[in-house]
């Protein structure tokens, strides 16, 4: 993928906010990047979100995720941005020297490792016959990965990469929901993610988790190309229920982990109860 070239696919508006449902007749709606522009998102859903929902998403998880968690990596890759002057030029690396002493060194962003750590979360709880897995605080760092030898100029110093799990899971939910609605795949399904995205449902791990599929297996199965991001929709049956799910991969060009997101549950008509 040529990161300097922007070619957009645009989806027509459906006339209401895809998160809260407010009509375009009641509030002005704005365009929604299904994958964030800052992650080279080229899928644009026209007039898809109201200002209130867009601000909630940006303030509570998407903004901090893009600026803090992925800010250095985005600068290293020169991903798309509306504010090129705000790109990060240096970063601080903490490593342990031969004497066991912890040292912090400031390095140019060109030396930031092109690496995305594995995601080892369980599959969504709804697909395991479980529920009620509360979301960790959005400021809570749940794990870190150490990559030996990531910075050869520091003689094998260890590099720490940290993700804020709650923000990352919410971003996966937002991407999956927006794509499913834009593609017209929600017909017959009850949408499960808007309350989660808007902070009204705390049970994030019910809907968003990992998958046993590796990045290589995902690429081979779905014939993915050289896109910066990837997403695929499918239906899955579990205990006599049908779910619409998405497999989502950001930073696909780095063989990043694949997330599994439960988007909707098949709506059961009244006739199904009466026979």
* Contact between 45 and 18 (Cβ < 8 Å): yes
Direct distance between the N- and C-terminal alpha carbons of the chain, in angstroms, rounded to an integer: 52
Q: How far is CA 267 from CA 169, 192, 264, 270, 271, in A?
A: 25, 11, 9, 10, 12
Q: Using CA atoms, how far apart are residues 38 and 79, in angstroms rounded to an integer?
A: 6
Cα separation, 207 vs 2, in Å, equals 33
Return the SS3 of 115. coil
**pTM score:** 0.88
State phi, psi for 273 to the nearest 5 degrees: -85, -30
At 1, is the secondary structure helix, strand, or coil?
coil
Task: Enter the DSSP assignment of 17.
Answer: -
Strand partners, 50: 29
Backbone phi, psi, residue 224, to 5°: -70, 155
CA separation for the pair 113, 145 (Å, rounded): 13
- Looking at residue 153, its pLDDT comes to 52
Q: Is the dihedral of CA 121, 126, 131, 133 positive or negative?
A: positive
Tokens of 96: 């342990």
What integer pLDDT is reported at residue 2 of this predicted model? 53
- Residue segments in the chain with a per-residue pLDDT below the cut of 70: 1-5, 95-98, 117-120, 133-162, 269-275
How far lies 134's CA from each of 20, 60, 196, 197, 208, in Å?
22, 17, 11, 14, 12
User: What 3-state DSSP class applies to 84?
Assistant: helix
| pLDDT for the residue 151 | 54
Rounded to 5 degrees, φ, ψ at 219 are -65, -45
Rounded CA separation 69/91 (Å): 12
DSSP state of 15: S
Question: Can you give the three-state secondary structure of 161-190, one letter per residue?
Answer: EEEEHHHHHHHHHHHHHHHHHHCCCCCCEE
201-232 residue pLDDT tens: 989 999 999 998 888 899 999 988 788 999 99
Contacts of 275 (CB under 8 A, 6+ apart): none
| Count of C-beta atoms within a 10 Å radius of residue 189 | 17
Q: 230-238 and 241-249: which strand pairing? A: antiparallel
Cβ contact 50:17 at 8 Å:
yes
Kindly report the CA angle at 258 between 206 and 129, in degrees rounded to 5? 25
């Amino acid at each position: 993928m040529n990161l300097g070239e922007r070619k957009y696919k645009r989806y027509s508006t459906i006339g209401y906010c895809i998160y809260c449902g407010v009509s375009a007749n009641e509030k002005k709606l704005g365009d929604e990047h299904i994958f964030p522009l800052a992650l080279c998102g080229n899928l644009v859903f026209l007039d898809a979100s109201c200002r209130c929902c867009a601000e909630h998403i940006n303030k509570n998880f998407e903004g901090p995720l893009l600026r803090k968690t992925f800010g250095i990596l985005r600068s290293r890759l020169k991903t798309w941005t509306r504010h090129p002057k705000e790109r990060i030029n240096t970063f601080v690396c903490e490593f342990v020297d031969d004497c066991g002493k912890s040292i912090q060194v400031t390095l140019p962003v060109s030396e930031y490792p092109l690496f995305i750590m594995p995601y080892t979360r369980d599959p969504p709880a709804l697909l395991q016959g479980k529920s009620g897995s509360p979301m960790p605080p959005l400021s809570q760092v749940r794990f870190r990965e150490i990559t030996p030898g990531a910075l050869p100029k520091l003689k094998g110093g260890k590099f720490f990469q940290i993700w804020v799990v709650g923000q990352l899971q919410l971003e996966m939910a937002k991407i999956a929901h927006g794509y499913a609605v834009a593609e017209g795949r929600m017909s017959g399904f009850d949408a499960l993610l808007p309350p989660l995205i808007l902070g009204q449902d705390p049970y994030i791990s019910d809907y968003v988790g990992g998958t046993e599929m590796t990045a290589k297996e995902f690429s081979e199965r779905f014939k993915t190309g050289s896109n910066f991001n990837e997403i695929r929709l499918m239906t899955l049956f579990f205990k006599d229920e049908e779910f619409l799910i998405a497999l989502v991969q950001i930073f696909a060009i780095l063989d990043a982990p694949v997330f599994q997101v439960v988007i909707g549950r098949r709506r059961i008509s009244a006739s199904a109860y009466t026979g």
